[in-house]
């Protein structure tokens, strides 16, 4: 969207206009969220973390955000992406094991090893966790909401690529 400016980071203050859940009984359940983003550029501290005020462009609510320095942001990003990679490896290993053990024809009276249900759970957990960790890592910008939930109600801070 914008070229990155050293020492700053662009964030979007998301003002939730409406969040409705319809259907559920006859029609499929659908959640409709509408919002409006306000784009802001905040300064990143040289080191450590800093609290900055961001103002919602829709309702002028003042919110507090915490901005981490470049090094810490990069480190957290790397940790998240590493965890995502580990999760993918565990997924492959657990899946291979589950298929291997599950496909065996067992002699009568012998049950599957204890590790079998563990590997099945592992397949499901890592299947969900891998993309979540990857997305979190990819978009992590070191900016997080500091305002208490009650004060920040109806607002979210979203990373902006650029
Ligand atoms: Zn607002």
How long, in residues, is the chain?
162
Please give all residues whose CB falls under 5 A of ion ligand 1, grouped by chain where several chains appear. 15, 56, 58-59, 61
Quote the distance between the C-alpha of residue 118 and its chain's center. 25
Which pLDDT score is estimated for 28?
A: 86
Q: DSSP assignment of the chain, as one string?
A: -----TTEEEEEEEEEEEEEEE-SSSSPPEEEEEEEEEEEEEEPPSSSEEEEEEE-TTT--EEEEEEE-HHHHHHHHHHHHHHHHHHHHHHHHHHHHHHHHHTS-PPTTPPPPTHHHHHHHHHHHHHHHHHHHHHHHHH--SEEE-S-TTTTTTEEEEE---
User: How many beta carbons lie within 10 A of that of residue 91, not counting itself?
Assistant: 19
- According to the model, what pLDDT value does residue 2 have? 54
**Cα–Cα distance measured from residue 127 to residue 119, given in angstroms and rounded to the nearest whole number:** 12
Which is it for strands 62-68 and 49-55: parallel, antiparallel or unpaired? antiparallel
Residue 3 pLDDT: 65
Cα of 56 from ligand 1 centre, angstroms = 5
Question: According to the model, what pLDDT value does residue 162 have?
Answer: 59
pLDDT tens digits in sequence order for the chain, 162 residues long: 456 677 899 999 999 999 898 887 788 889 999 999 999 999 999 999 999 999 999 999 999 999 999 999 999 999 999 999 999 999 999 999 999 998 888 888 888 888 899 999 999 999 999 999 999 999 999 999 999 989 999 999 999 975
pLDDT at 109: 84
Count of other CB atoms within 10 angstroms of residue 54: 23
Give distance in angstroms: CA of 14 to centre of ligand 1.
7
Residue spans of alpha helices (H) in 32-114: 70-102
Cα 84 to ligand 1 centre (Å):
33
């Amino acid at each position: 969207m914008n070229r990155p400016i050293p020492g700053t980071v662009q964030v979007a203050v998301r003002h939730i206009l409406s969040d409705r859940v319809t259907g559920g009984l006859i029609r499929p359940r659908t959640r409709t969220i509408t919002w409006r983003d306000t784009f802001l550029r905040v300064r990143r501290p040289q080191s450590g973390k800093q609290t900055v005020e961001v103002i919602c462009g829709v309702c002028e609510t003042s919110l507090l955000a915490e901005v981490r320095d470049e090094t810490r942001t990069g480190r957290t990003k790397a940790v998240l992406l590493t965890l995502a990679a580990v999760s993918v490896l565990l997924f492959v290993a657990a899946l291979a094991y589950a298929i291997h053990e599950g496909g065996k024809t067992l002699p009568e009276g012998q049950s599957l090893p204890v590790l079998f249900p563990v590997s099945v759970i592992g397949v499901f957990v890592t299947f969900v966790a891998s993309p979540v960790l990857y997305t979190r890592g990819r978009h992590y910008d070191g900016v997080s909401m500091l305002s208490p939930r009650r004060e920040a109600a109806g607002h979210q801070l979203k990373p902006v690529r650029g």
